[in-house]
Each structure stands twice: as C-alpha cells, then as structure tokens.
Amino acid sequence: MTATIQSPRSGKPSSGKPSSGKIQPKYRRTGGSKGNFEMLAWLFMRLSGVVLVVLIFGHLTVNLLVGEGIHAIDFGFVAGKWADPFWQFWDLAMLWLAMLHGTNGVRTIINDYAEKDATRLWLKIVLYAATTVIIILGTLVIFTFNPCPVANGVQLPGGFCPAP
C-alpha cells in the first residue's frame, strides 16, 4: 500500500488554500482609482467639520440661550429669522454642510462594513436618495418659506400676514 504525499503548498484544490506567490482574489486590488475623490472627501470632512462647529453652536446659542431662550421658539421666531437673508444663508449652509458631512461619513461606514458588493450598492443608493431628497426639500423650505400660510383661501392662525 502506498500513499502519495502532497508536496507542500502545491495548491491542492480540496484544501482551498493558496499556493505560494498567488494572491487570493479577495485581496487583489482591481481598478485603481484615478483622481483625487477620496482625498477631497477627506479634506471636505475636516473643513466642513470646523465650519459646522461654528454654525451649529451659533445656531444653538441664538435659538436657545439668547433672550427668552427656548421659550421664544415658535412659528413667529422662525419666520422672523428667515425674513433675514443672513439667517437664510446660515441655515442653508448648515443644511448643506451637515447633510454632505453626514452622508460622506455614512458612505465611509458603508464602505468599511458592507461585506457584499450588492449590499454596499443598495445601502449607498438608499443613502444618496435620502440625502438628495432632504437637501432639495430643505433648500426649498428655506427659499419658499411663506410667513403667511393660506389654506382654502383662509389665513391659518399664527401666520404673519401683511395688513390688507
């Protein structure tokens, strides 16, 4: 009775192990990315983060601490703020930066944690769809905000309407 001894690292298929010098497909880097997208994304995270600290703490201070603080917040307070282009711009910048900063953060988390390409693709589609909807909706609200809401020809209570 003779037994054949497999030479080491001969890449016997049943063992499923790689033979020396070959790299398992999982580790092979395919299609190196040309361009600087990842670098710009990294840079954007740092810069937007710094700007957001100013914007968000400014926002919180003005809304919650100054004057009557939190008790002053109502429809009129928001209407008053958005009557001023300065606060329109402030809130717009906060919306865009926060959304893009958060989206990029979640994008990297998906890249790091999704194990299958299909999962990764679908999570990103959901993420980008949500981001697009929220950014467009938020931008519309800031620019088309109407301090005098009217429904069925009747002014809603709490609105700020010009004297007739």
Partner 1 sequence: MSAELAEPASKIELPAGVGGGGEIPSFDVTLRVRRYNPEVSEDATWDDFKVTMYGTDRVLDALHKIKWEMDGSVSFRRSCAHGVCGSDAMRINGRNRLACKTLLKDLDTSKPITVEPIKGLPVEKDLIVDMEPFFQSFREVMPFLINRGHEPTKERLQSAEDRERFDDTTKCILCAACTSSCPVFWTDGQYFGPAAIVNAHRFIFDSRDDAGDMRLEILNDKEGVWRCRTTFNCTEACPRGIQVTQAIAEVKQAILSRKV
Query: Which residues here bind partner 1, judged by CB under 8 A?
Result: 15-18, 20-24, 26-27, 29, 32-33, 36-39, 41-43, 108, 111-113, 115
In the complex, least distance from residue 118 CB atom to partner 1, rounded to whole angstroms: 14
Nearer to partner 1, 113 or 143 (CB): 113
Determine the Cα–Cα distance for residues 159 and 145; give it in Å rounded to an integer.
Answer: 12
Determine the Cα–Cα distance for residues 58 and 66; give it in Å rounded to an integer.
Answer: 10
Nearer to partner 1, 32 or 85 (CB): 32
In the complex, least distance from residue 131 CB atom to partner 1, rounded to whole angstroms: 20
Give the residues across from 67 on adjacent strands.
none
In the complex, least distance from residue 27 CB atom to partner 1, rounded to whole angstroms: 4
Per-residue three-class SS string for 15-83? HCCCCCCCCCHHHCCCCCCCCCHHHHHHHHHHHHHHHHHHHHHHHHHHHHHCCCHHHHCCHHHHHHHHC
User: To which residue do tokens 């959304």 refer?
Assistant: 99
In the complex, least distance from residue 1 CB atom to partner 1, rounded to whole angstroms: 19
Tokens of 129: 């769809």
Nearer to partner 1, 59 or 120 (CB): 120
Nearer to partner 1, 113 or 128 (CB): 113
